[in-house]
Amino acid sequence: DIQMTQSPSSLSASVGDRITITCRASQGISNYLAWYQQKPGKVPKLLIYAASTLQSGVPSRFSGSGSGTDFTLTISSLQPEDVATYSCQKYHSAPFTFGPGTKVDIK
Amino acid sequence: EVQLVQSGAEVKKPGESLKISCKGSGYRFTNYWIGWVRQMPGKGLEWMGIIYPADSDTRYSPSFQGQVTISVDKSISTAYLQWSSLKASDTAMYYCARGYAPFDPWGQGTLVIVSS
């Protein structure tokens, strides 16, 4: 099975900072990658699919890029409401594995 | 509005059986896959499997194959996740979600606690 890794596992940044989270697949998955946001105690929410397509209603400060094995999620200007764990998910072929998650908080 | 509403929290003993549910509304239930995701306390998301309500085509993660059963009753727009013999290690939040991939939206989650 294809394994998914994320880095860093956690990060702390200031409001307004640009942050980038990396997701790596152990084999190529084209652009079959989604990103989810899970705020503390809440249900996961789809942010981005097809590696770079923003889900309707998601703020434009979120963006995704990548193809093949390496992907990034960028928040262009971190806001207090962005405190959450961000997880990638590959859906190239079953099982549609999630990455381990990256916890983001405010410095 | 598309909604998935899950059954309430459960507290069970090891060895007991359990079936939790996920009812879809606001869309044609048979047109979309339903998936299940486990989240153990303080841990990440784990993809368990998916089912297509129209024909009950089911795909399992190898990690969960044989450990759980995913089923559906399309007449009442409800998907199920069941265990025949719970273990303490099944203690987790379980989410259902709509879609083959990616998942959107998600149910509110069902907390399952297995403790003697």
Taking only the tens place, the pLDDT of each residue in B32-44 is 999 999 999 999 9
Scanning B1-116, the segments in alpha helix (DSSP H) are none
Q: How far apart are CA A13 and CA A106, in angstroms?
A: 5
pLDDT one-digit tens code per residue, B56-94: 999 999 999 999 999 999 999 999 999 999 999 999 999
A55 close to B (CB below 8 A): yes
| CB atoms B44 and A101 under 8 Å | yes
A40 close to B (CB below 8 A): no
> Which residues of A fall within a CB distance of 8 Å from B61?
94-95, 97
Find the helix or strand (DSSP H, E) in which B79 lies. strand B78-83
Sign of CA pseudo-dihedral B45, A37, B26, B53: negative
Contact B73, B21 (CB under 8 A): no
A69 close to B (CB below 8 A): no
What's residue B33's pLDDT?
97
**Per-residue pLDDT tens digits of chain A, which is 107 residues long:** 899 999 999 999 999 999 999 999 999 999 999 999 999 999 999 999 999 999 999 999 999 999 999 999 999 999 999 999 999 999 989 999 999 999 999 99
| CB atoms B101 and A98 under 8 Å | no
What's residue B89's pLDDT?
97
| CB atoms A98 and B45 under 8 Å | yes
Which tokens is A70 given? 């390496």
Q: How far is CA A4 from CA A57, A99, B12, B82, B97, in A?
A: 27, 5, 33, 27, 20
Residues 1-30 in B contacting A (C-alpha not used; CB under 8 Å): none
What's residue B101's pLDDT?
86
B67 close to A (CB below 8 A): no
Contact B51, B97 (CB under 8 A): no
